[in-house]
Chain A
Amino acid sequence: MHNKENNNQHEYDPQPLRISVLVLQKLEMRKYIPTPKAYFVLRNTLMWVLALFSILFGAFSVSGILFRMVNVFQVFPSSPRFGHVFDLFPLFWMLLFGLFMYVTYLEVRRTNQGYKYHLSWIAGLMLAVSGILGIVFYCVGVGFLLDKAAARYVPFNRDIEVMQKERWYNPEQGFLVGEVLQAEEKKEMFVLRDPEGGLWDVLFTAGLTDDERDIVSEGHMIGIKGMIHEKDRKLFIACRIVDAEIQGKGYFLSPRIRVLLDIGSSTNERNSEDIRMTICEGVRPL
């Protein structure tokens, strides 16, 4: 078929103008030389490196998406409104992931052979690689850390722990959330520290299931539906208990790292000691 090209010199072709002579003259006159191969190799490599970075940032976005999706039930309001969309769906992370996917596509397209790959192929690869890396990042706590940062610097993006507090911390209305500081063996009562550092004695009620009682363990975040005792305003009666542990904190679950990175947790030894003393006072007079 390509032989036709050579036989295809038609009558409308103009007389040869010896463009080659003119081109060589210009090359000599303007001292043009071929651009070094290293330049093209570097440019091509740079495009691949940028594409890999985009995939990496895409993976960070995936970890943010996972973090929000896994923990959405911790903050799901009792009466959802349209305004909650920004809180409940990881829109920011999804937009960021879409952006990085598009940037990756553009960068791959600019590599030497990149044009041979269809958008769907690149998108599929990006989803697979970023997805797997994103799960790993989520598990080690990168999603949690990034979500914290996004809550601090990105408009309409709120801290999930703050939202959890808003949703679950309203003792007067029968909602209490916090960290279990000390639980009794008999599972009749335990001490809980609320998000503002206040301490509560919490009483189990007979209606609680074994599963609900098992959630109560030291250091665990729990949510309680119940009521404040009429006489003792620091005593809370638990009618329902749910797990309120924010998932996906990974390594950042460690209080030491959280304090180091200034991402919440006001735990300190002195505080714990005071609490123990308080509990001991109540149970066994000194």
Chain B
Amino acid sequence: MDTTAYADEELARLSLTDKQCFAGLVDRYEAKLRRYIRRLGKFSTEDEDDLLQNIFIKTYQNLNAFDTSLRFSSWVYRITHNETISYMRHRTSRPEGHVEYMTDEEFNNLASDLDIHKEVELKEIRNTVLFALESLDKKYQDILVLKYFEYKSYEEISDILLIPPGTVAIRLSRAKEQMKKIMNTKGYTHA
């Protein structure tokens, strides 16, 4: 069955009776969710594979819980977030994983919003931005990652993190303020 013609939500509905449709969803989300997992923590490839399989199995088992008023992507990101956090809680150490996974586009997106101005090497600014990002509280990191790296809207972030949309806006604003402060201490001015 060619699943490419179907929207995510339609595929989710069809998956209840046809597992091949679910395979189509898995293929569609595997890379996105793997990238998101890497941004939440550092894992071996084997761990990532195990985690992804658990996430998709949990998604399948809970297909009937999918609220059609949401985007499917928000729902599956929510499961991914919760499963990854739960997985990390069972580990003693919790190394962060953003550093290796910020593209130029993502960096520019975040840096322009922080109004960073300094004529220095791009690599240096990137490292400082990443340092600042990893210095933030986890709740602020989660918001920034979803907003600037996963390109999610406020509403989607609210659905993924299970917090009110107003709280998303407040946390995002505070996260950016904290980022700016940290960048200032490193000598990067903002307008």
A28–B20 Cα distance when bound, in Å, is 12
> Among residues 221 to 262 in chain A, which have CB atoms less than 8 Å away from a CB atom of chain B?
none
**How far, in Å, is B72 (CB) from chain A's closest CB?**
12
The segment from B57-65, B87-95, B132-140, B179-187 that touches chain A is: B57-65
Instruction: Select from chain A the residue with minimum beta-carbon distance to B25.
Output: A20
Interface residues on A, range: 35 or more
Interface presence of A85 (CB below 8 A)? no
Kindly identify which residue among A9, A27, A113 contacts B60, using a CB–CB cutoff of 8 Å: A27
Residues of chain A lying within 8 A (CB to CB) of residue B19: 24, 27-28
> Among residues 1 to 18 in chain A, which have CB atoms less than 8 Å away from a CB atom of chain B?
1-2, 4-5, 8-10, 12-14, 16-17
Evaluate whether A34 and B57 lie within 8 angstroms (CB atoms) in the complex, with A9-B31, A23-B26, A118-B164 already known.
no
Instruction: Select from chain A the residue with minimum beta-carbon distance to B27.
Output: A20
A113–B22 Cα distance when bound, in Å, is 25
A21–B19 Cα distance when bound, in Å, is 11
Residues of chain A lying within 8 A (CB to CB) of residue B6: none
**How far, in Å, is B3 (CB) from chain A's closest CB?**
10
The answer to whether B64 touches A16, judged by C-beta atoms less than 8 angstroms apart, is no
> Among residues 22 to 37 in chain B, which have CB atoms less than 8 Å away from a CB atom of chain A?
22-24, 26-27, 30-32, 34-35
A153–B51 Cα distance when bound, in Å, is 52
> Among residues 82 to 140 in chain A, which have CB atoms less than 8 Å away from a CB atom of chain B?
109, 112-113, 115-118
A interface residues (Cβ-Cβ under 8 A, vs B): 1-2, 4-5, 8-10, 12-14, 16-17, 19-24, 26-28, 32-37, 39-40, 109, 112-113, 115-118
B interface residues (Cβ-Cβ under 8 A, vs A): 16, 19, 22-24, 26-27, 30-32, 34-35, 45, 49, 52-53, 56-57, 60-65, 67, 69, 100-101, 103, 105, 150-151, 153, 158, 162-167
Instruction: List 22 A–B pairs whose Cβ atoms lie within 8 Å, in order of A's numbering.
Output: A2-B151, A5-B150, A8-B35, A8-B105, A8-B151, A14-B45, A17-B49, A19-B30, A19-B49, A19-B53, A19-B56, A20-B24, A20-B26, A20-B56, A23-B22, A23-B23, A23-B26, A32-B60, A32-B61, A34-B64, A115-B158, A115-B163
